[in-house]
Structure 1
Amino acid sequence: MKSLPLIAAAAAALLSLSACKNEPEVVDSIAKDPLAEQMKNAPKAELPPAVESSVSFRCQPGNKLLYVDFFQGGKMAVLKKEKDGAPTMLNAPEAGQPFVGADGSKITGNAKAATISVAGAAPVTCKA
């Protein structure tokens, strides 16, 4: 009869342990990103275009030099009056149309030949 309480105690112990899961508890020290859902649904960022060609133009009349960087896509160019001078950003609404700057500068043409109007000056004909 002494073994009956011992068997009952062992059965109770086994029954209580059978409810436990044998999986380790995962502890993560990295906080959840509060913007993760917004970033997942955000539109992809568009990189700025790369420089397609950097051109030194010889322009007439006056035999002066102008420097232009044409960007890929044909919608953006940077004009400089001097090699290390201040750049003027010019944009075209569509590829193949003239580039126009906020200061009134304008480039019509391409990297081989162009007509360039620097703000406040008469247009000049330029060749690379």
Structure 2
Amino acid sequence: MKYYIPLIAAASVSLLSACNNNKEPEVVGGPADPMAAELANAAPVELPPSVKANKQFRCKDNSLIFVDFMSDDKTALLRTEKGGTATSLKAAEAGQPFTAEGFEVSGSGDDVTITVPGKGAQACHV
């Protein structure tokens, strides 16, 4: 048993001596990025708004209107059918009516006034 300890020590020293002892530095960064200056000076990216509230309104003519109010308080998505195509409505400032292409949504609570092309403005509630 006593003879194995020096043999194990000698074997481990010989294994460690096989390690790379280069004094040259390793290049880790790789080649320079040709667009680094452009990316550093680029304008910050603004993420699109997320859905703040998803509401289904019953209007005065007994129709259903589906409106997604976005987190920027300047955008709303309006659908006249549950799985229908959304129309993006924009407001000039938060609190102003959302408008686009003959559509208008005034208010963002449970009681709103909605105008859809072909129909007049009508009161709608959740």
The TM-score bracket by the shorter chain reads: 0.7 to 0.9
- Give the match for residue 94 of structure 1: 93
- Taking the TM superposition and a 5 Å limit, the aligned residue runs for 1:1-128 are 23-27=23-27, 30-60=30-60, 62-101=61-100, 103-128=101-126
Q: For structure 1, which runs of at least 5 residues remain unmatched after alignment? A: 1-21
Q: Which runs of at least 4 in structure 1 moved beyond 2 Å after TM superposition?
A: 25-31
Q: What is the alpha-carbon root mean square deviation over aligned residues?
A: 1.8
SS of structure 2 residue aligned to 1:38 = helix
Alpha-carbon deviation of 1:26? 3.5
Alpha-carbon deviation of 1:29? 8.1
Name the CA distance, whole Å, in 2 between partners of 1:29 and 1:37.
16
> Rg larger in 1 or in 2?
1
Q: Deviations over 1:50-109 (max 9, x none)?
A: 11000000100x2111000000121000000001001000000000000001x2100001
| TM-score, L = length of structure 1 | 0.75
Name the CA distance, whole Å, in 2 between partners of 1:77 and 1:125.
17
| TM-score, L = length of structure 2 | 0.76
